[in-house]
């Protein structure tokens, strides 16, 4: 059974579509996440650290985090109840396992065991998988400092893009 013009035409069309898909950045291992647009979240949480995209963690992680703000990574980040509930609602509406999730977010959610509610994105299996070739000494570089400093290597992190083709490693 040989290759016919019909079969080769379909193959060529498939290759052309794949090339366009790759060129458009749609085939990256990591896609884009909807970035924080909620003013209250960005002002309150972004005042101390990056206002991380809610899609990095499942809803149960955000609920746990918002319930423990009085001891938020060694700080008291308490908010009044209306603010706390509004931010929690925003985070859970855009969480990795929300109905608003993208295929990439669903992969993130699937990487977190059902009973786990990690507080750090860097504690997820997906983060470990995507950074498995990074030596421990890398994180202590002056321009990086911590695994949570996404923008050090992902220059478009604040725009929601973590595409591997955009990674820029700072020098030691």
Residue 60 parent element (H or E): helix 59-67
N-term to C-term CA, the chain: 57
Reported as a single tens digit per residue, the pLDDT across 5-34 is 555 555 554 445 444 444 444 444 455 677
pLDDT surpassing 50 at residue 147: yes
Reported as a single tens digit per residue, the pLDDT across 48-102 is 888 888 999 999 999 999 999 999 999 999 999 999 999 999 999 999 999 887 8
* pTM value > 0.85: no
């Amino acid at each position: 059974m040989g290759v016919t013009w019909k079969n080769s035409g379909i193959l060529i069309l498939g290759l052309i579509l794949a090339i366009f898909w790759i060129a458009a950045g749609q085939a990256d291992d990591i896609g884009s996440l909807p970035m924080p647009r909620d003013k209250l979240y960005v002002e309150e949480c972004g005042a101390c650290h990056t206002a991380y995209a809610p899609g990095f963690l499942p809803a149960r992680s955000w609920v746990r985090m918002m319930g423990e703000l009085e001891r938020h990574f060694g700080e008291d980040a308490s908010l009044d109840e209306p603010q706390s509930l509004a931010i929690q609602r925003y985070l859970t509406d855009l969480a990795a396992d929300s109905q608003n999730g993208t295929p990439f977010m669903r992969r993130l959610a699937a990487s977190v065991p059902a009973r786990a509610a990690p507080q750090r994105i860097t504690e997820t299996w997906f983060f470990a998988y995507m950074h498995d070739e990074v030596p421990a000494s890398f994180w202590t570089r002056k321009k990086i400092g911590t695994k949570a400093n996404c923008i050090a290597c992902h220059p478009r992190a604040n725009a929601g893009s973590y595409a591997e083709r955009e990674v820029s490693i700072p020098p030691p």
